[in-house]
Amino acid sequence: MRLLVLAAVAATVLLLQGSAARAAGREGPSGWEPIKDLSDPHVREIAEFAVNKHNDDAQTKLALDKVVKGETVGFLGTIYKLIVEVKDGANPKSYEAVVWDGKLVRFLFLFKAVEGNV
């Protein structure tokens, strides 16, 4: 449990650093790498986890369509920052999902709607 709390705090710090750096016109925290193969089965698995977890938490029925964009950084596992396209009935929508993938556990940090072009 302590490891999960530590990972959550560290990931939050990394995300805040990245947001501040982007606002200042710089790239995110050192170590973020774009995902080269967005159709990789493991990336798809992480995206499915994010959508399913959000569905469970928010009692929605979103369905993953595709991963549009993604970055990873290593931290006690891997943190995935993904832009996913989902279907809400017939309506396509885009969301940003941030997932920590550890050896024994996954954790959804963020799942929020993305407005405009991604």
Q: What is the DSSP string of the chain?
A: -HHHHHHHHHHHHHHHHHHHHHHTTS--STT-EE-S-TT-HHHHHHHHHHHHHHHHHHT---EEEEEEEEEEEESSSEEEEEEEEEEETTEEEEEEEEEEE-SS-EEEEEEEE--S--
Give the model's pLDDT for residue 5: 53
**Residue keyed to tokens 């774009």:** 34
What average pLDDT does the structure give for the chain? Answer: 83
pLDDT in tens, 30-81: 689 999 999 999 999 999 999 999 999 999 999 999 999 999 999 889 999 9
Phi/psi of residue 71, nearest 5 degrees: -140, 155
Give the model's pLDDT for residue 28: 46
| Cβ neighbourhood burial of 22 (10 Å; 0-12, 13-18, 19+) | exposed
pLDDT in tens, 16-31: 445 544 544 445 446 8
Give the model's pLDDT for residue 26: 47
